[in-house]
Structure 1
Amino acid sequence: KPSKEASLSILEFARLIDGVLPAGVFNVITGAGSKTGQYMLEHKNFAKLAFTGSTEVGRNVGLAAAERIIPATLELGGKSANIYFDDCDFDQAIDGAQLGILFNQGQVCCAGSRIFVQDTIYDKFVPALVKAFNKVKVGLPWHDDTQMGSQINETQIKKILSYVEIAKQEGATIACGGERFTEGELAKGAFMKPTLITNVTNDMRVAQEEIFGPVAVVIKFHDEDEVVAMANDSEYGLGGAVWTKDINKAIRVARNVETGRMWVNTYNQIPEHSPFGGYKTSGIGRETHKMILNHYTQVKNIMINLSYAPSGVYPQD
């Protein structure tokens, strides 16, 4: 469900382009997803369904498309692995961990929310990342020095905080953050402190369930086989990254992790023309590439007989 502000922005965009596109090319339909959205899923005049959002809702969209035997593309949730080997560029790696989980306040489907760190650099990496997280300037979005803004609404920050409590109950440690801002101007909004959770095992809820906020878990690994297995031990498969100076290792890991996109020595670079989409419950189909047109296209074959002679299959004499 979009926020009131997002809804108003969409309506204003529709007003600005009114008359620019042919009628019917772009339509804005308002209303609650449970009512208006369901009506769209059941409407017989839709020949294709596309959805970006939660896996729970996406599953319903996929079922509605299957019921009517029409195609659907789904870009859904994620719990992506951000993998750091001991031969990574350290400064670049610390920056990349922040790019992975703090971009857009962590409200990114392909966010690098599971940070895997090789055991040989773990004790150096975690304190450096905590220090970096604590230095992030959280503030009002119109201030030039703001690096991270507010969560989308109060409901979302309450969900994020509930996962902080789950982490504590599971025996994990809140290395930094783990709370909202309660002083000054930021107390009036849904501002969350950048959060790292350590002493996490891959089977914990905070390592398996999408939190959708500036919260990352940090998990130690020993070797390549172990980290690939842990990365794949997830119902999701949308994004991910590997950090190493060994290009052969980077390609091996990128190929073996079951996910639609793997970055190498970067994160959250999302250029157009690069296919984007998920494995497993992260979705069906690919976007931001010309192949998306195939999902909206039917292939028709018209075969013409250029001979005037009968086929000969059924002779007349």
Structure 2
Amino acid sequence: MADALYTGQFCPMFIDGKQVPAQSGEVLGVTDPASGRSIATVPRAGASDVDLAVAAARRAFEGPWSKFTPYDRQEILLRIADLVEKNWDELCVTDTLDMGLPISRTLGNKRRVIGMLRFYAGQATALHGDYIENSVSQSMITFTTREPVGVVGAIIPWNAPTAASIWKIAPALATGCTIVLKPSEDAPLVPLRLTQLMQDAGLPDGVVNVVTGTGAEAGAPLAQHPDVNKIVFTGSTATGQAIARAGVDTLKRITLELGGKSPMIICKDADIAKAIPVAAMAVFAHSGQICIAGSRLFVAREIHDEFLHRLSEYAQSLKIGHGLDPDTDLGPLINARQTSKVEDYIASGEAEGAKLITGGDRPAGAEFDGGNFLRPAVFGGVGDDMKIAREEIFGPVISAMPFDTLDEAVTRANATPYGLAGGIFSRDLSTAHKMVKRLKAGSVWVNMYHAIDPAVPFGGLKMSGYGKEGGVEHLDAYLDTKSVWIQTD
């Protein structure tokens, strides 16, 4: 099906506008998670490579990039958007091959991803300071300016490399910052290709740099680097905590979008036919490998049994396969390590007394050989204190639990260290409004799930991180405010 794409080619990093290997000469292999076959190799960067990338970003920030006006930056972003749109199919095939998400879903992200670039292009010319009527003296003029923070270090996960790359790079470019991007070693190919397209759009050398490598060898040196002014990170809570600690000595500005264990609440008056596919795909859309997965499913007791029966039937109907098959609903997990981790969670659920209603095993057949596939799992009889109800699994596993009252549902939904997202299904918008206000989550969807818009802020509460991405609020994290006083007499 995709033999022509298994080239095993070497894909170099981008530093200072040039494609370069790691100084050590070492490489990392990139594999297709659906087959285990080698796709490519990338440089295994270390601290010395990070130093070069940060130095290039600093030179660009203080040099040619500093002369670009907001209008110039807007033009660059719009040209990048046009090139991404022109090469969209190629990017999607690479993304699917790299990390397994079905091609129907990568192709379907086009409007959102290109929309991000054009949204931030619009914002580039809308940034401004304020004139402040001085209350001290009429002979003074006071105003503020908004200035870029400087060099940004961005570390992204493997589960959405196209969107994650642009979500980090576009606001940096709009505000006049420069950036060093460290993609996951499991899915580095699209970020490298995006950087090529940005160079083709006329971006000066050193404005966007990409270093490939492991978190310990490349990510940690980037987070700790004294000449990086801001770190933006998407990934696990444990790594986010380490990054926050690393930023203490240099007082870096930090944005963290971390893990989640999001609740989906199905009220007794919900439209079950509409809620079933939404509740299922709130978890199964990326084989559960998504931070906002609505993996804790609270269902009103009056409809609980019917809902679980129909949910399980829906899960069984989903087609599992290679992501390049346009009919595939669920692709593979990212690697064998993650697959084994999810299997351990499934085993713990059964050991603690939850009932595995469907799925959780590996599908049989030659087409699954070498791949990291699991059938989507639905658990019933789950207790709030069970491991599968408390910890982020990052796999295709739903833990369903009945509730009797809305107060109970909200209390239990909030009883988690996480606060990234939540969902509510109810025909009564008064009920939905009351529950939205009480849920401790950064995003709440009503009678839907997973909607994300470039103009709408996104981010978590509690152990799900801090800071927002998306919307005008996003740009504040890339800007410093300077107060200016002028004596006119």
Regarding TM over 0.5, the answer is yes
**In the aligned structure 2, how far is the partner of 1:106 from the partner of 1:6?**
17
Q: For each residue in 1:159-207, what CA deviation from the matched residue of structure 2 results, as whole angstroms up to 9, or x when unmatched?
A: 1101001101111111100112232211321111011111101111110
The aligned counterpart of 1:6 is: 187
1:48 to 216, 230, 235: 230
Out of 238, 241, 246, the position equivalent to 1:64 is 246
> SS of 1:50's equivalent?
strand
Partner residue of 1:104?
286
Q: How does 1:114-129 map to 2 (within 5 A)?
A: 114-129=296-311
Q: Which runs of 4+ in 1 moved over 6 A?
A: none
2:216 is matched with which residue: 34, 41, 51?
34
Shift in Å, 1:5: 6.0
Aligned partner of 1:227 among 399, 409, 412? 409
**1:76-124 Cα deviation digits (max 9, x unpaired):** 0000000000101110010111221111111110010001000010111
- Offset of residue 17 of structure 1: 2.9
5 Å matches for 1:162-173? 162-173=344-355
Counterpart-to-counterpart distance in 2, 1:301 and 1:294: 16
Q: Which amino acid aligns with 2:193?
A: E
Give the distance between the partners of 1:38 and 1:241, measured in 2 at CA: 34
1:272 to 454, 458, 461: 454
Q: TM-score, normalised by structure 1?
A: 0.93
The secondary structure found in structure 2 opposite 1:302 is strand
Question: SS at 2:233's partner residue?
Answer: strand
Q: Hey, what does 1:182 align to over in structure 2?
A: 364
CA apart distance, 1:66: 2.5
Q: CA deviation at 1:23?
A: 2.3
Partner amino acid, structure 2, of 1:31: G
Q: What is residue 387 of structure 2 aligned with on the other side?
A: 205
Q: How far did 1:18 drift?
A: 2.5
Cα pair 2:265 2:423 within 8 Å, conserved: yes
Query: Does residue 15 of the first structure (1) align with residue 196 of the second (2)?
Result: yes
| Shift of residue 296, structure 1, vs aligned partner | 1.1
More displaced 10-residue stretch of structure 1: 240-249 or 60-69: 60-69
| Residue 78 (structure 1) aligns with | 260
Identify the structure with the greater strand proportion.
Answer: 2
Which amino acid in structure 1 is aligned with residue 198 of structure 2?
A: I
Q: Distance in 1 between matches of 2:466 and 2:210?
A: 24
Q: Is the 8 A contact 2:185 2:213 kept in 1?
A: no
Question: What is the SS of the residue equivalent to 1:104?
Answer: coil
Q: Is the 8 A contact 1:181 1:187 kept in 2?
A: no
Structure 1 residue 271, shift from structure 2 partner:
1.9
Cross-structure match for 2:101: none
Residue pair 2:185, 2:212 contacting (<8 A) in 1 also: no
| 2:378 counterpart residue number | 196
- Do 1:236 and 1:280's aligned partners in 2 also have CA atoms closer than 8 Å? yes
Match of 1:256 in 2: 438
CA–CA separation in structure 1 for the residues paired with 2:212 and 2:312? 42
Q: Equivalents in 2 of 1:4, 1:192: separation in Å?
A: 22
What is the aligned length?
Answer: 307
Task: State the partner residue of 2:478.
Answer: 296
SS in structure 2 opposite 1:92?
A: helix
Task: For residues 203-251 of structure 1, give each alpha carbon's deviation from its aligned partner in whole angstroms, at most 9, with x where no partner exists.
Answer: 1111010000111100111111101000000010101100001101101
Calculate percent identity across the aligned residue pairs.
37
Deviation at 1:19, TM superposition (A): 4.5
Equivalent residue number for residue 311 of structure 1: none
The Cα of 1:67 is off from its aligned counterpart by 2.6
1:293 Cα deviation from its structure 2 partner: 0.8
**One-letter amino acid of the counterpart of residue 294, structure 1:** D
User: Structure 1: any 5+ residue segments left out of the alignment?
Assistant: 308-317
**Runs of 5+ unmatched residues, structure 2:** 1-156, 159-183
Alpha-carbon distance in 2 for matches of 1:300, 1:63: 27
